[in-house]
Amino acid sequence: MTFAALSEIRSGLTALSEQGLLRQRRMLQSAQDARVHVDGRELLSFCSNDYLGLANHPALAAAVAQALPEMGVGAGASHLITGHHTAHHAFETKFAEFVGLPDALLFSTGYMANLAVVTALVGREGEVFGDKLNHASLNDAALLSRAKFSRYAHNDLAALERLMAASTARSKLVLVDAVFSMDGDVADLPALLALCEAHDAWLLVDDAHGFGVLGAGGRGSLAHFGLQSPRIIYMATLGKAAGVAGAVVAAEHDVITWLLQKARTYIYTTATPPLLSAALLASLQVIAGADDRRTHLRELVMQLRDGLQAQGWELLDSATPIQPVIIGSNEATLAISSALLEQGILVPAIRPPTVPVNSARLRITLSAAHSAADVALLLNAMGNA
Q: Which residues are annotated as a binding site for pyridoxal 5'-phosphate?
A: 110-111, 181, 209, 237
CA distances to 7, 55, 94 from 116, rounded to whole Å, are 36, 26, 21
Q: Is 62 helix (H, G, I), strand (E, B) or coil?
A: helix
Q: Which of 79, 224, 240, 370 is catalytic?
A: 240
Question: Are 104 and 89 a contacting pair, CB within 8 Å?
Answer: no
Q: Is 268 helix (H, G, I), strand (E, B) or coil?
A: coil
d(CA 163, CA 152): 8
Binding residue numbers: 23, 110-111, 135, 181, 209, 237, 354
Q: How many beta carbons lie within 10 A of that of residue 154, not counting itself?
A: 15
209 is catalytic: yes
199 is catalytic: no
Q: Which of 150, 181, 283, 337 is catalytic?
A: 181
Cα Rg for the chain, rounded, in angstroms? 21
Backbone dihedral angles phi then psi of residue 273, each to the nearest 5 degrees = -55, 130
Question: Are 211 and 237 a contacting pair, CB within 8 Å?
Answer: yes
Q: Which amino acid is at 76?
A: G
Query: Under 8 Å CB-to-CB from 183, ≥6 apart: which residues?
Result: 133, 154, 316, 318, 322, 324
177: β partners: 206
Q: What one-character DSSP code corresponds to residue 275?
A: H
Binding residue numbers for substrate: 23, 135, 354
Q: Which of 57, 172, 209, 224 is catalytic?
A: 209
d(CA 96, CA 105): 9
| Residues labelled catalytic | 181, 209, 240
